[in-house]
Amino acid sequence: MALSNLSRTGLWAWVKTASQDLGPTGITINLACPGPHATDRMKQLGGTGPMGDPGDFGKVVAFLCSEPAKFVNGVALQVDGGATLGLL
């Protein structure tokens, strides 16, 4: 878990830097951070508790790729139904 947390933190730091470099060119870069979603893999792992619809996660990603999100840049968007307790 420590390695996973470290790599995610590093990725977010890179996204923040890249967003500053690419933003002036009109390119945006963001992270969509999924929480528990009712995928086949989660079902195989025996996921319990509330789970999101994978299609809803896809809609969030589609929004981030759309024209209305052109000013959203350098964010890590939690798509987890409020499961993350910490502040980012």
Number of domain units in the chain? 1
Alpha carbons 5 and 75: distance in angstroms, whole number: 17
Q: For 63, left (φ over 0), alpha (ψ -120 to 50), or beta?
A: alpha
What's the whole-model pTM score? 0.80
**88 falls within a domain:** no
Whole domain around residue 38: which residue ranges? 2-79
- Residues 6 or more apart whose CB falls under 8 angstroms from that of 37 comprise 51, 52, 53, 54, 56, 57
CATH number of 33's domain: 3.40.50.720
What DSSP character marks residue 46? T
Any domain includes 85: no
Given a cut of 60, whether residue 88 has pLDDT beyond it is no
Q: What is the pLDDT of residues 30-86, one digit of tens each?
A: 999 998 899 998 888 887 788 999 999 999 999 999 999 999 999 999 999 888 877
